A = this chain, B = another copy of it.
């Protein structure tokens, strides 16, 4: 049995296809007599008719579909839920405007070629971080397809549209916050690989802990992070009385540390100030009354949304969207792990 088309419905009701089309699209300019309208609606329902969007897309030269390109999810398994939060943001924003999203996995240059061949299916493309090498960049640059890069650090002077997070903004706020609390002696605790990067960012943000003690440990994966932070805190604990505050490179680290502190009868937020990074409580939807960690929200969901917005603006012909680098300021979220601390 063939799938019903406009013609099927039209023949059934005894009207022309355009009338059916008008009803289907709720055409405001052309009124359809309600008698016919009802008959048409009934026939549509009875035949379980749904429009063939390929035909519509072909005619209108657009697909209302966007590709989100990323590496295999495997690559993100170790690093936790951050990418997904951004994807949710993208999806949410796209949906508002009737767009849908194709998930494209790229792990080789071959995959890039495959993407190019399917490009006619997409009105635009959002690239997740670090999916393209230089060669792929060049292949894609020649095509004139609305494209936005998310969280891409390796721009190397390319003229592309991208949305990134300004981590320094939140860290600057944190510094001010700790200053106002009177915290003078600040330690840094976290993953060996990121601790240097974090310190540099602190420096640029004016949080001067460059000459202060840094405690760190190797990272396996996000899932072991809390326990790792718990276990590796000995050195820090020995010198803890020297500090007013401990900034952690990550919320998981902070949680692990806090549990360890509590196990040693030291109360975070009372005996010492502790801060994290990521606002993971919001991502994990922890009930408000259980949230206690002062942290920096790096707005990953917002980043996804902004990517989608920027892309849609470009698709709609907004010339200004073509070469826009948008930086979203991360922001401090103050909770009880610092706010009531008195040095």
Contacts and interface: CB of A to CB of B under 8 A. Distances in A.
A101 to B, nearest CB: 5
Chain A contact residues: helix, strand, loop or mixed = helix
Given A102-B101, A104-B100, A223-B280, A85 B73 contact: yes
Contact of A102 (B72, B85, B100, B120): B100
Contacts of A73: 81, 84-85, 87-88
A77 interface: yes
Interface in A7-66: 48, 50-55, 57-58, 61, 63, 65
A69 to B, nearest CB: 11
Copy count, this protein chain: 2
A285 interface: yes
A208 interface: no
**Interface-central residue, A76, A85, A224, by most chain B CB under 10 Å:** A224
A289 interface: no
A20 to B, nearest CB: 15
Interface in A132-183: 142-143
A114 B53 CA distance: 13
Contacts of A224: 226, 255
B105 A102 contact: no
A189 interface: no
A128 interface: no
Given A3-B61, A227-B255, 16 more contacts: A50-B119, A51-B117, A58-B58, A73-B81, A73-B85, A73-B88, A74-B88, A74-B283, A77-B85, A77-B283, A77-B285, A224-B255, A226-B226, A226-B227, A227-B227, A227-B256
Interface of A: 3, 48, 50-55, 57-58, 61, 63, 65, 68, 72-74, 76-78, 80-81, 84-85, 87-88, 91, 95, 100-105, 114, 116-121, 142-143, 220-227, 230-231, 252, 255-256, 259, 263, 280, 283-286
5 contacts: A51-B120, A73-B88, A87-B103, A100-B121, A222-B223
